[in-house]
Amino acid sequence: MSSFNIFDIAGSGMSAQSVRLNTTASNLANADSVGGDPARVYKAKHPLFEAIRSGLGSNAASTGVAVRGIVESQAAPAARYEPGNPLADADGYVYAPAVNTVEEMVDMISASRSYQNNVEVMNTAKDMMLATLRLGQ
């Protein structure tokens, strides 16, 4: 029965969202990882989602999600004048990664809601299949 595809689809959604949660956690954890070299300071990471079709043509059987890769933000780190900081460069500046914590929090909530959606889909599909197995009893 093709309903087994639902587990693959919802599972791929859950794994993609958990990658997104991971990158968000990493961005938030490193929001204050300052450094003296702007080129080597932490860069915010974001996953690239892509729909994967299995099957042929426009009537493809199922469409899961794949994480095509994780891109690093190209935004320039913010320079702070902190001459007392042991990490400061010769001019007294430290560089903080360009992580927007508000944006990351929103991303986190969105990812967790999407994850919950996929879990619900999986639970419902499981109940439906179990009910189908009981058919005729």
User: Contact residues for another protein (CB under 8 A)?
Assistant: 1-3, 5-6, 9-10, 12-13, 16-17, 20, 49-51, 58-59, 61-65, 110-111, 113-114, 117-118, 120-121, 124-125, 128, 131-132, 135-136
33: tokens are 């990882």
Instruction: Return the number of the residue (105 or 128) whose C-beta is nearest another protein.
Output: 128
Ramachandran region, residue 55 (left: φ > 0; alpha: ψ -120 to 50; beta: rest): left
Smallest separation, CB 59 to another protein (Å):
5
Smallest separation, CB 116 to another protein (Å):
10
How many degrees, rounded to 5, is the angle at CA 86 between CA 83 and CA 90?
55
Q: How many CB atoms lie within 10 A of CB 128?
A: 12
Instruction: Return the number of the residue (28 or 52) whose C-beta is nearest another protein.
Output: 52
Instruction: Return the number of the residue (69 or 136) whose C-beta is nearest another protein.
Output: 136
Q: What is the DSSP string of 105-131?
A: HHHHHHHHHHHHHHHHHHHHHHHHHHH
Smallest separation, CB 36 to another protein (Å):
36
Instruction: Return the number of the residue (40 or 113) whose C-beta is nearest another protein.
Output: 113
With CA atoms as reference, report the closest residue to 14 among 116, 102, 110.
Answer: 116
Smallest separation, CB 43 to another protein (Å):
20
With CA atoms as reference, report the closest residue to 13 among 58, 63, 61.
Answer: 63
